[in-house]
Structure formats: C-alpha cells, structure tokens
Amino acid sequence: MSLLAAMSSSMDDRPDLVRVGDRSLSRSRLQGLAAAVADDLHGLDRVAVEATPTLETVVGVVGALRAGTAVVPVPPDAGPREREHILRDSAAQALLAAAGGTSDGSTGTGASAASGGLPVVPVDLRRVSGSTHPEPAPDRTALILYTSGTTGAPKGALLSRAAIATCLDGLADAWAWTPDDLLVHGLPLFHVHGLVLGVLGPLRVGSRLHHVGRPQPDRYAAAGGTLCFGVPTIWSRIGAVPAAARALRSARLLVSGSAALPTAVFDGLAALTGHRVVERYGMTETLITVSARADGPRRPGAVGVPLPGVRTRIVDEQGHDLPTDGSAMGELLVDGPTLFDGYLNRPDADAASRTADGWFRTGDVATVGPDGWHRIVGRASTDLIKSGGYRIGAGEVEEALLAHPGVREAAVVGLPHPDLGQQVTAYVVGDGVTGPELVDFVARQLSVHKRPREVRLVDALPRNALGKVQKKRLVDG
C-alpha cells in the first residue's frame, strides 16, 4: 500500500483537500504539482526542504516522497550554525524551496548562503506533471528528522516509510480518524506532530487538512474542524479565550501532545468545549507509541495505552523491570514497528539508545498502572529529582503549583545541594504571589519532602518551537 494511500486512490477531488492559510489545493492538483517535483528529484537520495508553514512545503514533501527521496526538513527559524549542521550532516543533495528564492524571499548571494551551497530546486505551484512514479520499498527512509540537540549537536533520526505508515494506521484506529474528518492545526512542519501526523496523516487517511498558519485561538475557532491538534501552549491560549474555546464544541476530538497538558487546562477546556482532551506520547525516534482512544476514557495527566504492535516497560537504573502498579517510577523503554532505523552517522548514539535486547531507551520517566495506562513524569535528566533519599517527579510538583490561582506557568527542576543531593526548585510565572506562599501551598497538598525548597519568580520560561519548557537552560543557569 502507498504511504499516502488516500491521495493515491481516493476519487474525492474537493477543491480544499489541503488548505494552508488562505490557499488550498484539490487532490488532483496536489498530485500534479507533486509529480513535477518528483520529476526534478529523480535519482536523488535525499533532499532538504524549507519547512515553512506553506503549500510549497506540503507539495515539496509529497513530491520527494513520491520520488523515493528522503526528506530533511529544515526549521525556517534555524540559526546559521544549526542550519549548516543539518545540511552538512544529512548530506542533502539539493534544497527544495518556494519558487523565487529561499523561504525569506532572498536571491543571489544570500540565497546561496541560505542553501549551504546546495542547488535549489524550486517548488512552483504553477507547474504540474502527469508523470507516475513507482511506490518505493517500505523499508526506504522517508524522513530524516533532526532532534532538538539538548545533549549536543542535533542528531538525524532515520524514519522509514513503513514506520510512518504503521504509526498513522494505529492513530487512525485509536482516534476513529476517517475521510469525513477535517483536521485543523497550526503546528510547525519540521517535527513529528505537525509534519507526520498533521500533513502525512490526512493524506494517508483521506481527511481534509486546514493548517491555520499562526496557531491563534480565533483561527482554530473559525476553521470548523472535527479533529484539532495542539500543544499545551496552544490549548492554554484557546482556553483563555472562552468564545474561541466554545466554538470547538462542534469538533469531534481535541488532541494534545509534545508536552504534558496541565490538569487545569484539561479541566478548563472540558468545561468550555464539552471535550476531554485526548493526550498521546511519542518521540522523534519512536513516532507515537501511546495514546488515549476516542472510544475510551481520557484522564488528565495520563497519555493512554500502547498503540497496536507497540510494547513498553519501565526499568530502574540497573535495568530491572519495575511493577506496573501506577506508582513505581522508572525509565520508559519502547519496542515495536514505529521505531526509527537509527541515527545518521552516529553508531555511538545508536548503541547508547538501545538496551542489549533491542529496546529503545526513551530517557523519559513514567509510571504504568495495572490497566496499562501510562503517565509521563518527565525527562530522566531533569524531571526525576533525587532529594534527601526521595525520588520526586517534577510534574507532580508543577501540577500542585499550577493549582494556585496566582500561578500562570511553572517549571520544577533539581538543582545541586550539598546535603540533599538535589534541591527541589521551582521557576514560576505568576501574579501577586510570593515564594514562601507557594512553598506553603505545595506543602499543604503534597508530602512535605516534595515542596520546593526555593521558588524563583520569573517573567517567562524558556521554550522551544513546540512550547516545551527547556529545563536544561534552567538547570545550567
């Protein structure tokens, strides 16, 4: 079966199969435009793509996949060093960009610098082709997605066509995703969430897609989607605009991912929209592995059960299995058909990311209940705090802080302490609150040893493009 099965076989030719901003394409038009790009890429093994939130990005990615060329998305806001690393490390042979120059519209010397010296293949929405291209083998690399680089230079994760197809089929089953849906989101197109789920998903399932550009509450409200994707930052902003949130009552499913959704946001959206948000869990290297289901319960702070074919386990620091009792915290290991094929040019990183028996080490700390429901505590490096002999999950303390009416945002980390080993430290964005007040507030809700030893009031928390708090920046000072 074709990776983009519905685009290849559907007879539906509505004029707005894919809409980005105020421009749209029908299925047949997208096929013709993608075929022209595929013609240009014939014989190329891998190509970089300017991953702007535009129709040109969608056409470029689809064209490359039809040609069997691996796609290397380049974040449009990448700095010169990150951009140069991605282009060089991936060994991309060309750069796909909107016709007329690079993503910022530059030409000449500037365009040459932006392309890293690579030939630029223009994506021209006026040029179509009737060519057909054979479906590449399932084990062929479809995407090379670069990780965030929190532990060094970004690494390229090799994702096969089969892994992507399996992931999308599992989500279609879990979320009852059908051609009748209209998917609405405003996510970046260089990550799993926005590109794999948010673009390739509709083209495999057959649903329509409306990318709203900037993910503003009024744009989500006006789009009339049945299926809406967002990250916690987006959902928090939508919940802060009651009229926009109430407009989503007509949707079928609201889905959140890429970071934990605060319970207060979950509850607020449930009250305004009538929907309990579906949360799911995944990584660049694993795609989506765990999710709540459309036909099952949704629990705040929990991400559901494994998708078909996926196996999970939690282990302690010695690699011993921990009980699935809902309270034991350990590193989450994953195995199954959605896993990546390794890091490009990094056999050392590959070896470090796998156990001796082949399980992928996520680096995330989780609990698993007797019913198989997973709760992600956070990153082992920053969210499992060892203080005075206790193991404390940062997420639990953050939830307690966010329950205070004066707290808008909170991030909890463990900072070095000469006596305790690590000190529970909270960074808080709030209104009219004091550190001692918040320490006492948490101590009244949780065990006393879980209270922050220090609260630092800040104007904002450092976040990446998907809204995840960059805790390493807080730990490193």
90 neighbors 78 (Cβ within 8 angstroms):
no
| Cα gap 328→368, rounded to integer Å | 8
- Are 222 and 174 in the same domain? no
Task: Say what the pLDDT of residue 108 is.
Answer: 35
Side chain identity at residue 303, one-letter code: V
Closest-CA residue to 12 (of 252, 184, 175, 208):
208
Q: For strand 227-230 and strand 253-256, is the pairing parallel, antiparallel, or unpaired?
A: parallel
User: How much is the average pLDDT of 220-246?
Assistant: 95
210 located within any domain: no
The label of the residue with tokens 């260089």 reads: 190
Residue 298 belongs to domain spanning: 215-379
Task: Say what the pLDDT of residue 106 is.
Answer: 38
Task: Say what the pLDDT of residue 466 is.
Answer: 65
- Are 370 and 469 in the same domain? no
Residue 105: is its pLDDT beyond 60?
no
- Are 362 and 262 in the same domain? yes
User: How much is the average pLDDT of 414-429?
Assistant: 87
Helix (H) or strand (E) holding 143: strand 141-146
- Are 344 and 445 in the same domain? no
- Are 399 and 286 in the same domain? no
- Are 339 and 410 in the same domain? no
- Are 324 and 403 in the same domain? no
Task: Say what the pLDDT of residue 389 is.
Answer: 66
Bin 415: left if φ > 0, else alpha if -120 < ψ < 50, else beta. beta
- Are 369 and 406 in the same domain? no
- Are 448 and 306 in the same domain? no
Out of 160, 194, 228, a domain closes at 194
Number of domains the chain contains: 3
- Are 161 and 35 in the same domain? yes
Distances (CA, A) of 39 to 59, 64, 69: 13, 9, 11
User: How much is the average pLDDT of 197-215?
Assistant: 96
Helices marked H in 146-247 — which ranges? 161-174, 201-205, 217-223, 232-239, 242-246
Query: What digits encode the pLDDT tens for the residues 137-180?
Result: 999 999 999 986 555 678 999 999 999 999 999 999 999 999 99
Closest-CA residue to 6 (of 226, 163, 165):
165
- Are 233 and 373 in the same domain? yes
- Are 31 and 176 in the same domain? yes
The model's pTM is: 0.83
Query: What digits encode the pLDDT tens for the residues 425-475?
Result: 999 999 999 999 999 999 888 878 888 999 999 999 998 766 778 888 888
